[in-house]
Amino acid sequence: MEVLKRFELNSRGRDLVVGDIHGHFSRLRARLNEVGFDPRVDRLFSVGDMIDRGPESEQALEWLDEPWFHAVRGNHEDYAVRYRSVNRSNWSRYGGDWFLALDPKRQQHISERFAQLPLAMEVATAQGPVGILHADCPVPDWRRLDLRKRRMQDFCMWSRTRIQERRESRVHGLRALVVGHTPLDEPTTLGNVIHIDTGGWTEDGNFTLLDISTLRPLG
């Protein structure tokens, strides 16, 4: 597993980041059409949690096959990676029933696919690198992120401390860090960390598409 995946500057098209998808790929597709997403030159990055809760979790695999779509592992993909040892009633409560009902071969296939997802991505922009993680960075300096440690992995996928305590500390070594995990009414920046899960998967939420070069959401 490549734990940190780096991407070169995209000089031909746009780079966008979307928050948690949670099984709502049709809605995401509609949103991409609205903004004229061009798969020939644009790239779409996901903060993870592509699965559970919504009806289209299995489509995550088809999207991951697209050359323009890149995702980190969220805590929900991590449930699937660890499905043999995970607390099933706990996962079921958070939307894992679709996976638990699959046949064992399919479960293994999906688990292995998600195990290949990086825990962090770094995208080059003209103003410096932008990091992408599911929840938050466990260290004050991006360059000290050691993803071989399970403790750091868990923090990347699960932490809500920054958003709950409104911590404004910066993550050094990055222009900005983009995360999801905690649903919010609107994109929220703390320090240089931009939270973009605006609940596109909920009844009345919408998908934020953040332009990585401007660090602004598309209208």
Active-site pick, 76, 134, 181, 195? 76
- Total Cβ atoms within 10 A of residue 2: 12
Q: Residue 49 CB, nearest distance to Mn ion (Å)?
A: 4
- Both tokens of 110, joined, read 């999906």
Over the window 68 to 87, marking each residue x when it contacts Mn ion by CB under 5 A and - when it does not, the resulting string is ------xx------------
Whether 109 is catalytic is no
Residue in the shown chain whose Cβ atom is closest to Mn ion = 181
Strand order in the sheet with 43-46: 69-71, 43-46, 15-18, 209-211, 216-217
Distances (CA, A) of 49 to 115, 166, 184, 192: 13, 22, 15, 22
Q: Residue 75 CB, nearest distance to Mn ion (Å)?
A: 5
- Which of the residues 168 through 187 are near Mn ion (CB under 5 A)? 181
Q: Residue 71 CB, nearest distance to Mn ion (Å)?
A: 12
Segment interacting with Mn ion (CB under 5 A) among 47-55, 171-179, 188-196, 210-218: 47-55
Over the window 145 to 164, marking each residue x when it contacts Mn ion by CB under 5 A and - when it does not, the resulting string is --------------------
Q: Residue 135 CB, nearest distance to Mn ion (Å)?
A: 7
DSSP one-letter code for 168: -
- Total Cβ atoms within 10 A of residue 110: 21
49 belongs to the binding site for Mn ion (CB under 5 A): yes
Determine the size of the site formed for Mn ion (CB under 5 A). Answer: 4
CB-wise, 43 or 181, nearer to Mn ion?
A: 181
What is the helix (H) or strand (E) element at residue 25, kind and residue range? Answer: helix 25-34
CB-wise, 19 or 173, nearer to Mn ion?
A: 19
- Both tokens of 114, joined, read 């998600």
Q: What angle do CA 35, 12, 116 make, to 5 degrees?
A: 80
Distances (CA, A) of 31 to 9, 109, 151, 179, 210: 24, 29, 35, 19, 12
Could you list the residues that contact Mn ion (CB under 5 A)?
49, 74-75, 181
Q: Which residues are catalytic?
A: 76
